[in-house]
Structure 1
Amino acid sequence: MKGWVYNEERELDTAQFADYLNPATTAVVSIDMHRGHLDDSPDCPCPAPRARDVVAPIDSFHDEVRALGVRIVHIKSVLRPGGEDDIHGIPAAWRRTFPLHVGAIPNADAHAIEGSRWTEWVTRVEPGDMRVDTKRRLSAFYPTDLDFLLRNQRIETVVLNGGFTDCCVLNTAFDANNHNYRVIVLRDLVRGTDPHLEGAALAMVSLHLGLVVDSSELLRQWRG
């Protein structure tokens, strides 16, 4: 099996990671692929423009996943309309720190507001897929019921795609590992703030949290 270790492609011992590769106990977890990150408009409240490139590839991968009977969970950031979860309570740290790097984000207060167009999916969600619509901070596990959902489905391995690699994907990978799930991050189906931070996040995953592989390689292993 081919995988990536510290951003170098390596041949891995498939037998050593056989428990990571059982599709029957695996769920694909797709993170924050909604308009609040991906909309191509000047009022996008938390733009992740690099992730627009993976919308179609993620949809194609999910089609293959469904055909193999592997479960999919779509994660979406949603905040109460009154701002109690964020700007009218203790604001999320990124609202003050991220603009130091990217500059002012004019419509940031609208990010993830429940019922707004910014919470509409961009990737395709099919009726048989599972959804978690209560992500309010960086990890898909906090403060959501994702852990309950996965354990109730007897899931042992999570396969992560989406964005940002160095933010919500990395936080979710850490939390999944700390909850004792096996972690796989799909190198070709995540995007970070920039290539440097994307590479750093993937390197950390590969050293401390789980496997970094390309989606085609994972499909090959599942089919094999």
Structure 2
Amino acid sequence: MRAFVYGEARDVAPAEFPDYLDPATTAVISIDMHRGHLDDSPDCPCPAPRAREIVDGIDRFHDAARARGVRVVHVKSVLRPDGADDLGGIPAAWRRTFPLHVGPIPNAAGHALEGSPWTEWVTRVEPQDLRVENKRRLSAFYPTDLDFLLRNQRITTVVLNGGFTDCCVLNTAFDANNHNYRVIVLRDLTRGTDPKLEQAALAMVSLHLGLVVESGDLLTQWGAPPAR
């Protein structure tokens, strides 16, 4: 099996990672693939334009995961309409620090507000999928019920896709590891602020948190879908 360790492709024996590669105890966690990041509009409140290129790939991977009986969980940021979770209280740190790099974000105040179009999914969500729709900060685990949901489904391994690699994906990977889940991050189906930070985040994951692999290699390890 090919994995990426500190950015370098390495051959890793699957027998060394059996607890990472069992589809029966695995869930795919897709992070923040909604219009608030992906809309091609000047009003997009927190644009992640690099992640638009992975929407179709994520949909295809999710189809392949479902066919193998792997559960798919879609997580997105949603804040109370009055902003009590954020600007109406103690604002999230990124609102003050990220503009130091990218400049002013014109509609940032509208990001993730409940009932707004910015919380609509861009990737496809199927009826059998699970959803977590109350992510308030950077980790998919905080302050959501994701951990309860995964444990109730007897999940021990999480496979992460979505964005930002260096922000919400990385924070979720740290939290998943701290909750004692086995962590896999899909190198080809995550996107970061820029390639440099994306590579740095994946390198940190590979050294401290779990496996960094490409989606096709993981599907090969899961095996072919059962015959119908």
TM-score, scaled relative to structure 1: 0.99
User: Are 2:46 and 1:77 aligned?
Assistant: no
**What aligned pairs does 1:19-34 form with structure 2 within 5 A after superposition?**
19-34=19-34
* Structure 1 partner of 2:178: 178
Q: What per-residue deviation string (whole Å, max 9, x for no partner) do you get for residues 119-168 of structure 1?
A: 00000000000000000000000000000000000000000000000000
C-alpha deviations, 1:30-49, integer Å up to 9, x for none?
00000000000000000000
In structure 2, stretches of 5+ residues that fail to align are: none
Deviation at 1:61, TM superposition (A): 0.5
Runs of 4+ in 1 over 3 A off after TM superposition: none
1:18: how far off?
A: 1.1
Residue 88 of structure 1 deviates from its aligned partner by: 1.1
Partner of 1:47, secondary structure, is coil
| Counterpart amino acid of residue 97 in structure 1 | T
Question: How many Å separate the matches in 2 of 1:46 and 1:20?
Answer: 33
Tell me, in whole angstroms, the C-alpha distance in 1 between the residues paired with 2:2 and 2:19.
Answer: 16
Q: How do 1:75-154 and structure 2 match up within 5 A? A: 75-154=75-154
What is the match of residue 205 of structure 1?
A: 205
What is the DSSP-based 3-state SS (H/G/I as helix, E as strand, rest coil) of the residue aligned with 1:180? coil
Q: Which residue of 2 aligns with 1:166?
A: 166
C-alpha displacement at 1:197, in angstroms? 0.1
Aligned to 2:38: 38
Task: State the AA in 1 paired with 2:33.
Answer: M
What is the alpha-carbon distance in structure 2 between the residues aligned to residue 22 and residue 60 of structure 1? 20
Q: What one-letter code is carried by the residue in structure 1 that aligns with 2:138?
A: L
1:194 counterpart = 2:203 = no
CA distance in 1, matches of 2:93, 2:160: 23
In the alignment, the residues of structure 2 paired with residue 192 and residue 216 of structure 1 have an alpha-carbon distance, to the nearest angstrom, of 20
For the residues of structure 2 that align with 1:23 and 1:69, how far apart are their CA atoms?
Answer: 7
Partner secondary structure for residue 199 of structure 1:
helix
Aligned to 1:13: 13
Q: Which amino acid aligns with 2:112?
A: A
**Secondary structure of the residue that 1:15 maps to in structure 2?**
helix
Q: Alignment partner of 1:85: what SS?
A: coil
Structure 1 stretches lacking a partner, 5+ long:
none
Identity %: 79
Q: Deviations over 1:51-70 (max 9, x none)?
A: 00000000010010111110
Q: Higher mean Cα deviation, 90-99 or 10-19?
A: 10-19
Post-superposition offset of 1:215: 0.1
- Tell me the C-alpha RMSD between the 2 structures: 0.5
The CA distance in 2 between the partners of 1:106 and 1:91, in whole Å, is 16
Distance in 2 of aligned mates of 1:80 and 1:19: 38
